[in-house]
Structure 1
Amino acid sequence: MNPSIPSFYNQAWRWHFYAGLFVIPFLLMLSLTGMVYLFKPQLDRLMYAELLLVPRGEQLLSADRQLAVVRQAHPQASVSKYLPPVDGEHSAQFVIAEGERQLNLFVDPYRGTLLGSQDAENNLQAIARALHGTLLAGTVGDRLIELAAGWGIVLVISGLYLWWPRGQGGAGVLWPRLSARGRLFWRDLHAVTGFWGALLLLFMLLTGMTWTGLWGEQFAAVWNRFPAQMWNAVPKSDLQARSLNSASQQTVAWAAENTPLPTSDPHAAHQGHTQAASGPVSAQIGLQQVVDLARAENVQPGYSVSLPKGAEGVYTVALFADDPRADATLHVDQYSGKLLADLRWQDYGLVAKSVEMGVVLHEGKFFGLANQLLMLAVCLMILLSSLSGLVLWWQRRPQGSLGVPPLRHDLPLWKGAVVLMLLLGLALPLVGASLLLIWTLDWLVLSRFAPAQRVLGS
């Protein structure tokens, strides 16, 4: 090893392995929960057919009649959302809050019967999605996921550098040596899987990062902008459309998340009549009127209607479509029925369009089963690469310690690799902050105590 190579590179080598040990459990969890969410349509149909499917009838009941069925069965509950039937063979769905619980209620839209209920936050898909996004731990979980995804990006790039072919041909890099055994077998498995899966894994990590609470929100604030005149003519609340989303359920598309929620005007004209001198008009328009408006505005089936919260809340018609070109976010005054805002694909900027397309590819929605199978293959590659990396580290670790394998002596362009790592630390704030923290601990603590050095292989 060239003695001129600074000790920082020795630290960077160790950090690569320590970061891998930190990231691997998250990658395993993200892959497993991602596979569950990938096949949501098939799993829902298999598990909840009696709630989702209905015999086709002659005449659909109005949304208001369906709402009356729900309110009669749950008079103390507050209704937050309505999902009209996506076609003639599916039920309608309402989301209600009853005490501390949120329930999904399924209604036969032809016969007006309540088919059953489902805990909105305690079912397979809701749990998988919440684990995938926040570890069921709110903001702390979101930050941990963001940190792991950021370090995952660092590991992919540094892994490509570490394993890039250096004149030994394609064996062990482009294809595994099938006759290999022991450590060489695991090395080939890790290297080949990582080589072919690197770009796909980067795609998954980067598209996932756009949903995170810190980096993702800052990214959206910079790139996800709309002309100011779209909102000049309507009163705006202090809330953004992202408030309609939750860890377990996506309502509005990413591109619409940081747009303001308009407010309804209790003093506005209602059904063509001017406000009386005695006070404001307070009667809401019917839910069916909102459904009719969505149809008139050519919103495709599959949308939801979020009901107003409070006297100034609005109805929000939102379609987070499998094909983002059909995305729609409409806000409707709850008293006058006036369309206050209408946000579609053509209003998105280039970055927002790219992110939306990336997100639906990430979720396996864009081109049907083939998209699902491709993303399944990526998840399996992540599992294989993670597990083989863990085995490889265990086999190569210094005897009797939890440290890192010996530093290689054939690493070219190491200065460029370190610079790239620092740039990634700047681009990903949580990664950069953790890098500084680890460096500080390494310098102040680990490098000064022999027992810690022996255990960690420093």
Structure 2
Amino acid sequence: MKQPKPNFYNLAWRWHFYAGLFVAPFMVMLALTGVIYLFKPQLDSLMYDSLMNVPAGHHSVPADDLLKRVKDAYPQATIKQYLPPVNAERSAQFVVLNGGNELNVFVDPYHGDILGEQDAKKNLQAVARAIHGELMIGTVGDRLIELAAGWGIVLVVSGVFLWWPRGQAAGILWPRLSSRGRVLWRDLHAVTGFWGAAFLLVMLLSGMTWTGFWGKQYAGVWNVFPDAMWNDMPKSDVEARSLNTATRQTVPWAMENTPMPMSGDHAEHMAHGGAQAGPAAPTISLQDVQNIAVQRKVEPGYSITFPTTATGVFTIAVFADDPRNDATLHVDQYTGNVLADVRWEHYGVVARATETGVMLHEGKMFGVLNQIIVLLICLMILLSAVSGVVIWWKRRPQGKFGVPPLRHDLPKWKTGVAIMLVLAVAFPLVGASLVVVWLLDRVLLSRFTRQTESASSSS
């Protein structure tokens, strides 16, 4: 009698198993680093109080005088960025490239005194952000995080299907706390997964928008501004995403794939003694740029990024806690003309939804309540990941890997197959890895299983 082919419920089991083993360490890491970065405002104030906080004064020192103080203190350095004080009791900040190090230099805006410096890439928040985004190993780390997030989506979808209530609520909607051992761990895993599935999907999808491969393609498709917005200015080949790094967010996500304008024309550059690719030689002052930000009502918390070449621009940008206050302005370094001024109202529907998702992801959208909700989600992720590993460890046969066996007596689920195919197409790295895992499962693990079975039967 011909045995029926393994059905989708079987495959869901195995995909959930493989995805869980691969994803669990990443989920633990993402949850822990996410919690650290989530409470950045509170932790920064606590850890760097003497650098960040100053007594409110009556008269501020002009931005250019502060700039001169920093240049005098770091004569060999390049000044990359200026962050004016967020409020009357906060210091001003300069980002300085000095001898291979990137420093955050804090300055008293009322007296011009340099309060101290901080390694921009090695402080707690920057390290947490860099691990969270790319494991501190660049592009390879970014792709691994993207793969883990994509498989996390597979994990959620297959998990919800596997644990969908089929006539009983205990162990699905609430844990059977009277149980012990593997049953209790299984209930904790199922219940946290069931209630947390929607939240985890939001976190995974909003996080995916920052990834280097999928996120870039996603932005290319959905994050489109009218070409006319860039018609009245010379455009460079450089995209605004170049201003963002693993440790520092400068421009909003919606602006990442927009072109950077160029300052002046070639004749002007020659008049200022610089060639097209020469160093920046701005003729407007830093205070002029700050005044533009104030006049145009840019939300406090913005940064001013300096031009690096003769054709570069000053960029005023705020990646606001409330994305409706986002702003990105490019300013000609010679004339002070605002070449581009892009706000929330210029974003498309998908860009608005994405920006909102990112702010919810970072716990910034509605203050402490948002932070508490994301903290609870992170704790659910930790519990789900740990309980999943414990279940596997307790269930696996002694000395074996414990891959779920292929059963043949469970119902088919065509919708499930369709969903997995959609996920494979929507997330190409996941699709490619699904094929690899399927082949490994067929070739290696099936052979290993046959060998162990024949060995046990012959003994």
Identity among equivalent positions (%) equals 63
Q: Please tell me the root mean square deviation across aligned C-alpha atoms, in Å.
A: 2.2
1:341 has 2:348 as partner: no
Letter in 2 for 1:414: W
Tell me if the contact between 1:331 and 1:342 (Cα under 8 Å) persists in the aligned partners: yes
Which deviates more, 124-133 or 392-401? Answer: 392-401
Q: Which one scores higher on RCO, CA 8 angstroms, separation ≥ 6? A: 2
- Matched with 2:457 is none
- Matched with 2:54 is 54
1:247 has 2:246 as partner: yes
Tell me if the contact between 1:398 and 1:406 (Cα under 8 Å) persists in the aligned partners: no
Counting only pairs closer than 5 Å after superposition, residues 214-253 of structure 1 correspond to structure 2 as 214-253=213-252
Tell me if the contact between 2:8 and 2:414 (Cα under 8 Å) persists in the aligned partners: no
Question: Structure 1 stretches of 5 or more lacking a match?
Answer: none
Cα deviation code 1:413-454 (max 9, x no counterpart): 433323321221111100000011122233344334558867
Counting only pairs closer than 5 Å after superposition, residues 183-332 of structure 1 correspond to structure 2 as 183-265=182-264, 267=266, 283-332=282-331
- Matched with 1:172 is 171
Q: Secondary structure at the match of 1:342?
A: strand
Which deviates more, 283-292 or 70-79? Answer: 283-292
Q: Which runs of 4+ in 1 moved over 6 A?
A: 275-281, 451-454
Cα deviation code 1:324-348 (max 9, x no counterpart): 0000000001111110001100000
Question: Under a length normalisation based on structure 2, what TM-score does the superposition of the two structures give?
Answer: 0.93
Q: Secondary structure at the match of 2:304?
A: strand
Q: CA deviation at 1:134?
A: 0.2
Letter in 1 for 2:413: W
Q: CA deviation at 1:24?
A: 0.2
Q: Secondary structure at the match of 2:418?
A: helix
Mapped to 2, the partners of 1:409 and 1:92 lie a distance apart of 67
Q: CA deviation at 1:389?
A: 0.7
Mapped to 2, the partners of 1:307 and 1:314 lie a distance apart of 7
Tell me if the contact between 2:316 and 2:328 (Cα under 8 Å) persists in the aligned partners: yes
Q: CA deviation at 1:9?
A: 6.5
Q: CA deviation at 1:3?
A: 3.7
1:441 has 2:440 as partner: yes
Mapped to 2, the partners of 1:353 and 1:306 lie a distance apart of 24
- Matched with 2:120 is 120
Mapped to 1, the partners of 2:61 and 2:302 lie a distance apart of 18
Mapped to 1, the partners of 2:377 and 2:273 lie a distance apart of 64
Q: Secondary structure at the match of 1:403?
A: coil
Which deviates more, 11-20 or 183-192? Answer: 11-20
Number of residue equivalences = 449
**Alpha-carbon distance change, 100 to 187 in structure 1, aligned in 2, over 3 angstroms:** same
**Alpha-carbon distance change, 3 to 162 in structure 1, aligned in 2, over 3 angstroms:** farther
1:83 has 2:83 as partner: yes
Q: CA deviation at 1:367?
A: 0.5
- Matched with 2:427 is 428
Question: Structure 2 stretches of 5 or more lacking a match?
Answer: 454-459
Q: CA deviation at 1:409?
A: 6.8
Mapped to 1, the partners of 2:383 and 2:408 lie a distance apart of 27
- Matched with 1:93 is 93
Q: Secondary structure at the match of 1:243?
A: helix
Q: Secondary structure at the match of 1:122?
A: coil
Q: Secondary structure at the match of 1:24?
A: helix
Counting only pairs closer than 5 Å after superposition, residues 59-74 of structure 1 correspond to structure 2 as 59-74=59-74
**Alpha-carbon distance change, 195 to 219 in structure 1, aligned in 2, over 3 angstroms:** same
Q: CA deviation at 1:276?
A: 6.4
Letter in 2 for 1:136: M
Letter in 1 for 2:62: S
Q: Secondary structure at the match of 1:177?
A: coil
Mapped to 2, the partners of 1:183 and 1:442 lie a distance apart of 26
Letter in 2 for 1:340: L
Q: Secondary structure at the match of 1:213?
A: coil
Q: CA deviation at 1:13?
A: 3.1
Tell me if the contact between 1:177 and 1:188 (Cα under 8 Å) persists in the aligned partners: yes
Q: Secondary structure at the match of 1:305?
A: strand
Tell me if the contact between 1:398 and 1:404 (Cα under 8 Å) persists in the aligned partners: no
Which deviates more, 317-326 or 258-267? Answer: 258-267
Cα deviation code 1:58-78 (max 9, x no counterpart): 200111000001000000000
Q: CA deviation at 1:407?
A: 4.8
**Alpha-carbon distance change, 360 to 192 in structure 1, aligned in 2, over 3 angstroms:** same
Letter in 1 for 2:368: L
**Alpha-carbon distance change, 352 to 278 in structure 1, aligned in 2, over 3 angstroms:** closer
Which deviates more, 395-404 or 347-356? Answer: 395-404
**Alpha-carbon distance change, 227 to 29 in structure 1, aligned in 2, over 3 angstroms:** same
